């Protein structure tokens, strides 16, 4: 005869940290992809309609990364009952994404395209690991 396993409770810490990691990871990946594309276009010297494409402003990568960070961290923190906690997690993920953008400067300076690819891959890995952690913490099975 098998004994039923007790139902797992939600783990708010795992949900919060996982959601934060998800937001920072995917927001940072979005930011580094845009920065990578901007650098690539600047190196390629492509011009279209008399305008240089290299004049693309990298601030859009930062804004896009921050929006992605808010969306993913808000979504993954749905297991928390407090909207205040979800808002704090989303805000912290924006700052984490911003700091990944700051980290991209020395990575680009020393490692160029290889470093940006590694930073993007690391950001994706953080996002996936954080997402799994948040889902596991919110699963009540």
Q: Kind and range of the H or E element at 101?
A: helix 83-138
What proportions of the chain, in percent to the nearest 5, are helix, strand and coil? 80, 5, 20
pTM given for the model: 0.86
Q: How many CB atoms lie within 10 A of CB 93?
A: 32
> Is the pLDDT at 5 greater than 70, yes or no?
no
Sorted by where each begins, the domain ranges of the chain are: 12-44+59-138
pLDDT in tens, 93-141: 999 999 999 999 999 999 999 999 999 999 999 999 999 999 999 985 4
pLDDT in tens, 23-81: 999 999 999 999 888 888 777 766 665 566 556 677 888 899 999 999 999 999 999 99
Q: What is the pLDDT of residue 57?
A: 75
> Is the pLDDT at 21 greater than 80, yes or no?
yes
Q: What is the pLDDT of residue 122?
A: 97
**15 band by pLDDT with thresholds 50, 70 and 90:** very high
């Amino acid at each position: 005869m098998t004994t039923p396993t007790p139902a797992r409770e939600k783990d708010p810490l795992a949900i919060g940290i996982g959601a934060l990691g998800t937001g920072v990871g995917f927001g940072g990946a979005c930011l580094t992809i845009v920065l990578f594309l901007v650098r690539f276009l600047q190196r390629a010297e492509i011009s279209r309609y008399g305008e240089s494409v290299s004049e693309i402003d990298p601030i859009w990568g930062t804004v896009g990364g921050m929006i992605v960070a808010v969306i993913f961290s808000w979504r993954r923190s749905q297991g928390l009952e407090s909207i205040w906690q979800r808002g704090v997690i989303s805000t912290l993920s924006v700052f984490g994404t911003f700091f990944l953008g700051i980290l991209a400067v020395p990575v680009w300076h020393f490692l160029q395209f290889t470093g940006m690819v590694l930073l993007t891959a690391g950001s994706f890995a953080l996002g996936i690991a954080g997402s799994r952690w948040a889902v596991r913490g919110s699963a009540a099975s």
